[in-house]
Amino acid sequence: MNQPRLHQLKDGMLRNFTQLRRLGIRDSDLKQIAENVFDDLNYLQVLDFGNNTIVDYPVALIGISNETKIILQGNAFCKCLNFWLIQNASLTNATQVVPCMSGDGEMTEELAIFTDSLIQQCASIKIQAVDTVITASSGESVNVTCPFRNMDISWDVNNIESSWELITPEGQQARNPHIKITEISEADQCRKVTCNGANSTHTAQADSYLVIPCKLIKTV
């Protein structure tokens, strides 16, 4: 894809994700755009579709289809989710406006229920938590809330200090050996959901997402 075309598509992505679809952009092109845009941003900024701006704050990563990844914060997440739903008309409630955040910044119960429904329909939605792990002091506990029930949660190892160790809920060491999960409560535990509808906790294997429950503790 030539550079003028690529710049046009990048600009379109920043203005409005749906505009790219209206232009007839192929998924393969979207993948290339995402790779270029987010390599530049280094996953430390947020695309805010509502205000057409880039917000300098790391929060969450959501996958749009199996290929395209968009970084979002706050209600921008919900705007993009709604755009994505509209573009995936095979979902029965694709045009529904999803309730987003409560006053304290938590995901609403309505959105959690709605997202559960999407996952059962094999919607490829993944969120990557970026929390205060990077700056936590030795021995300090860091709470990591699961944004939705039954979600695949993965960590960007480039944003986590090397003195963390990750253990899966089953006690197996996961692919990133730098995080340790403790104090897992059944109520807070995020479960991995596959497209065949089977719910299960994560089992460590190569190139798989890590299901993060809700508490991290530094070990050194």
- Residue 11 CA: distances (Å) to CA of 3, 54, 60, 199: 12, 12, 21, 39
Torsional sign, CA 45, 147, 171, 141: positive
Model pLDDT, residue 44: 26
Beta partners for residue 48, in sequence order: 53
pLDDT tens across 129-175, in order? 322 222 233 343 333 333 333 333 333 333 333 333 333 334 433 33
Q: What is the pLDDT of residue 186?
A: 34
Q: pTM, whole model, 2 decimals?
A: 0.19
What was the pLDDT predicted at 67? 28
Taking the CA atoms of 16, 17, 18 and 19 in sequence, report the sign of the dihedral they define. Answer: positive
pLDDT surpassing 50 at residue 117? no
Higher-pLDDT residue of 104, 212? 104
pLDDT for the residue numbered 184: 32
For residue 26, what pLDDT is reported? 57
Is the pLDDT reported for residue 214 higher than 50?
A: no
pLDDT tens track for 15-61: 444 444 555 555 555 555 444 444 433 332 333 333 333 333 222 33
Q: d(Cα 181, Cα 84) in Å, to the nearest integer?
A: 32
Work out the average pLDDT over 189-199. 26
Residue 130 Cα to chain centre, angstroms: 10
Mean pLDDT score of the chain:
37
Is 77's pLDDT higher than 50? Answer: no
Higher pLDDT, 117 or 162: 117
Predicted local distance difference test score (pLDDT) of residue 10: 44
pLDDT for residue 203 is more than 50: no
On the question of pLDDT at 176 being above 50, the answer is no
Question: Does residue 209 register a pLDDT over 50?
Answer: no
